[in-house]
Structure 1
């Protein structure tokens, strides 16, 4: 039953995806039916917690809830306009709310274009398709209606085009005369009224149509060298032109007699048999082909005429193939088999090796550092391996973050892996020029570790971030490591220059999952830190260590808000 539900949801989601392509900016003509919609994932259909959907439009820089009217209707993940007006232009968004939090699902910018009163289309609301003459092509009407029974009308240069009412306009062979502006008009019935939406395509056909092509058998009469007892496959291919003909036949004759048909069963296969013909399209050209299989060449076969016949349009073409004894010898079976095995095995091994290197890149680098005792810190004049920047105000909601920055992080990196950290609250004596001290200590550090949280930027630690970004992006002296201590749903609170940093320099803390010394978190963090010989002690797990009274580190007691930036 569960499998059936997932299957149905997959079908629904696939159908919705066709109507709801991902698009940030949308143009629509005034006076036409239109809708905004977003894709609901299958997980949202099975959420236990109920949520409500709200649509918003930005007004004077503020998000204003859209109230339904007879013209603007909200239905789950659809916002419909019956029809769209010029005043509807603006920025739209849709949110999910569970009563506690609002989650923005998607945003759009809607541009409602003014209709050209003297034409059936707006030149700013069309797409251009450029094709070569002689090729086949079809114009598709972008369907903005869910009902497949809605009426379709095609226009060419604003004139009704051959009474076409299908959703696709097919051209078997394009000519320059097919160039023009094609408009598809969909008529949609709603509450007793007829609305419409249009889609306009400018078709440009370049070059002259190719000359009329006659049927042709590829290749001339030929003699094929072979050996007694060898299997031979004779191929006959006919060129049909620039469209697929239906009244065409292709077959083989053996001394003016028809061969038997291949059965596909090796034990019951005739010694000589003819396979079914196949139709092929290569680019804008169409072919038909048929194989004749000779299971084991005999001396009698050397005296046969194998004739390929192509018939169409009251014309018959033929090609004669003969067999003759040759001196060529095949490779021994064991050599051929070995070569084939190696040819197949080598790419598989190469792909597997690349996959292992990508998936275990971090582990391999750390292993290499340990084996080679690599040290990137020697002789660079730096005093610290990393400067740690974090939310320093003593707010109850950030006590865990302070404990992570002041105790867990230095305990693991310093005591277990031999790194030296600069933690302002721990290592800098009070009373100095704070701004100058921060700038100086960042200069002395090889890395800047930033422990991000939602309140980080609102804190005075912003100076450390801006100073570190300047050194990373402008002076290129210090590399930045971002630790996402708590899940962040919206990064808009961060400086835009932070987006210039590589995404691979972000490490996510996952609480209990990240506690063990050999967890992915500590491996990724060590990978981003400078290489240096370590006194590895990975016995374990530090969540059972004494954290001081009531679980807070000793130096966090009696925080001085004026001691740090």
Structure 2
């Protein structure tokens, strides 16, 4: 305790010297992007005669105290903590600690507030001082932004325009005039690490002939003289007057609304009047003093839009007037419950639309087939074709293709022809022997609306290769036929197929699932009918009814959606 008291006493004795070495900042409000430094007053040699000591800086922010480490931007230089430059994140409380290994000295806290720079001005109104003088007197404005280093240049600005570039710390006015009023900003420039930095300070100088001269009628709200109003609604007009600065001499004034038949509003009588003025409200904003007088119009009428409402300020020397005019405003916003209901309905409608779109994609096959059934649509009328599809399949008699031949010669035609009314062209069944096979294949494919290719691992052979290549040419080049690929067996390697198959839409591939695909209402037959041309048939309606009401467990399982698309790589 005795040592701490001695330190405080020594610092007090050396106060003038310490301030000269390390000037105290007037304000701890600083602007972002500028050079700034913190330093502790006092002579370290007087506190610690020994030259062995350490200086440690700490920052307290959000309840946490952190040791400050030196960086390229934060420089610990003896008694100084320098910011090159200061940033918004540097806001907080700062302390230092001196230690010689035996004794520690900790300072009081500096509360540092970092302000944002103004985008529209060379200074921030919250980072300025005020000086009021009468005309005819002398005045000196001092640049408080000059840091400890004297190797700087100084430029003065008045209202953000260059005023004096003589590199001096003070502006001296020998005989002030009203025209000298304005915001004076000094910009101090210095360099560090080959970069230029600035420090600024601003003083607002007010010069008037007398105290009443600096009083002016100033509308705070609204900014315009036209006030929006609506018939049948109430409106309040606000007339606010600038009275001067806190601590300045007061003067007499009268503020009132000058219209006829305006009474004073009181809690007991205001309900009796459709229009009245309220009591003066005096308030401070920073170091400025204001008074506000409100005019309350209980119910706006049509004739009120043709009247002027006059706010009158009287001082011993002069009077000032400000007129207000009502203009019709926009219709009122929707009531909250109506707005909320509208938002809910909009969201609900959007969700329904999205759901319908998703369902239409998932069940597009069922929807198309249902549409064909109820409308009796028929795409085969008048197109000059004889067959609905030409069936291409493996024709070699090998032991492994018995089931495949049964599918091509029995299951496929029995279902498509007998149940759904399609007419197929199957070479072994419908083409007479003895003709030229190539010519017959070409002719019958021309007479067909679709080419059904039953793919399996044994499909490609000399007898079917021509059918496949002819169909691909007519589909991809001549655009005369559409190809439907049925993957009868699982195929793991498609390299044996022509590369031109890759150009076919993958959605034109259906996969046979053996027993699961047998029922008429299975996904396989629905997808196949979807790819076939629309054709009216009484069997179609019966098939649709079967798909809606399956009677067997196998049929019920077959209604599950299965649609596999495969590309041939």
Instruction: Please classify the TM superposition score into its range, dividing by the shorter chain length.
Output: 0.3 to 0.5
TM-score by length of 2: 0.39
TM-score by length of 1: 0.39
Pick the structure with greater CA Rg: 2
